[in-house]
Structure 1
Amino acid sequence: MNIGEASSASGVSAKMIRYYEEIGLIRPMGRTGNNYRVYGQEEVHILRFIKRARNLGFSLEETETLLKLWQDESRESSAVKEVATAHIGDLERRIADMQGMVKTLKHLANCCGGDNRPNCPILDDLAGDRTVGDGAVGKKIRA
C-alpha cells in the first residue's frame, strides 16, 4: 500500500509517517519504480503502536524505547513497566502544575472587575506587577 493508504489504515498522517521515517523511529520503506513508498500490514501495525503511545503522552524518545521493547521478544516486562511508571510520574507532575495554574487564574479572574475600567489584575500579574497589600489599592511595585 502507498503512504496515503497506510495513513488511512493507521490513523497517522502521511506527514507524520514521513517525519517518523526521517528521524529513524520507523525504518525507511521500500520504494516502487516510480519512487512511491510501499507499506505492509506490519508497518501499519507499528504506526498504530506509535500513535497509541503518542496519544498516551509518551515522548518520541519514550515511544522509541517502547517500540524497541515491543519488538524485542526477549525483553523483561519490568523494563516496560519502568518506562510507564516514569511517565505516570511525569503526567502527575504536569497535572499538579496545571491545577496550580487553574487555581491562580481563577483567583485572578475573580479579582478582575470585568468592567469598563482599564485596571486588570490578570494583565498586572502577567506583567509581573504586584498590588501593594497595605490598602494602597492601585499602587504597584515591580516583582
Structure 2
Amino acid sequence: MHVITALRFAGPIAVVLICGLSVQSASADAWTCPQLHEAAFLDEPDEVREVLAHGVDVDCTDVLGQTALVTAVNGASMASFDVLMQSGARVDVRTEFGQSLLQHTKKKFSSVDHQKGLEQYRALYKTMIARLQTAGAAN
C-alpha cells in the first residue's frame, strides 16, 4: 500500500528505480559462466572462487567453446589459472583453433619469448606450461 502511494507521487522515475533495484538484486544471485570467464581473464582469483562456490562448472565454455582455463591463459592470469587448476579444471581441452591447451600456452610463451620488456610474461607462461605438464596435459 505504501509503495503504491509512493509511486503515485513519485511518478515514472520511481518505477524505474524500484524495478531496477529488484532486477539487480535478483541477478546478483545468479552466477554464470561468463562471470567465471571474466574473472579468469582479469585475474581476479577471489571472484573465480566465489563463482565456483556458487555452482558454476569449472569447465563451462564461452561462446568460442573454450573453458575458463584457456581464458586465464589468454589473459596471462596466473592466480586465476592456479585457482582453476586447484578446482579440478580439465587440462585436456582444445582452443577454438583445435590446439591443445598445452600447445596454446606454448604458443603464447613463444610470442613473448624474444621480446624485450616481457620477461614477466615469459616467466608466467613457463610456469603455466610446467603446471599443465605436471597435471598430465598432452601436446
TM-score (normalizing by structure 1): 0.25
**Highest CA radius of gyration, 1 or 2?**
1
Bigger relative contact order, structure 1 or 2 (CA pairs below 8 A, ≥6 apart): 2
TM-score (normalizing by structure 2): 0.25
**Larger fraction in strand:** 1
